[in-house]
Amino acid sequence: MNDNCPNCPRQQVQPAAEHERGDQVSHLYRCPRCGVTWSTNRVLDAYREAA
């Protein structure tokens, strides 16, 4: 799942790493434009229904 950079206008940044645990998925991102890193934690069921 791609995400938008929280520091610059870059959109659709691909995750550098992913880890699933139970009903959650964690993604680690690094923006190729400005170099900022961030992570997200999402409940998988919420995104499976939206797909």
For the chain, how many structural domains are there in total? 1
Decide if pLDDT at 49 tops 80.
no
Does any domain span residue 19? yes
5-16 confidence digits (pLDDT tens): 999 999 999 999
Q: Is the dihedral of CA 20, 45, 39, 18 positive or negative?
A: positive
Does any domain span residue 10? yes
pLDDT at site 48: 67
Does any domain span residue 21? yes
pLDDT at site 45: 84
**Residue 31 CB contacts under 8 Å (≥ 6 apart), including other chains:** 5, 7, 8, 10, 13, 37
Does any domain span residue 26? yes
Print the domain residue range for 24: 1-45
Does any domain span residue 36? yes
Does any domain span residue 8? yes
Does any domain span residue 51? no
Q: Is the dihedral of CA 39, 12, 36, 19 positive or negative?
A: positive
16-47 confidence digits (pLDDT tens): 999 999 999 999 999 999 999 999 999 988 87
In this prediction the pTM is 0.82
pLDDT at site 4: 97
Q: Report CA 32 to chain centroid distance, whole Å.
A: 14
Instruction: Name which of 28, 29, 30, 26 is nearest 41 in CA terms.
Output: 26
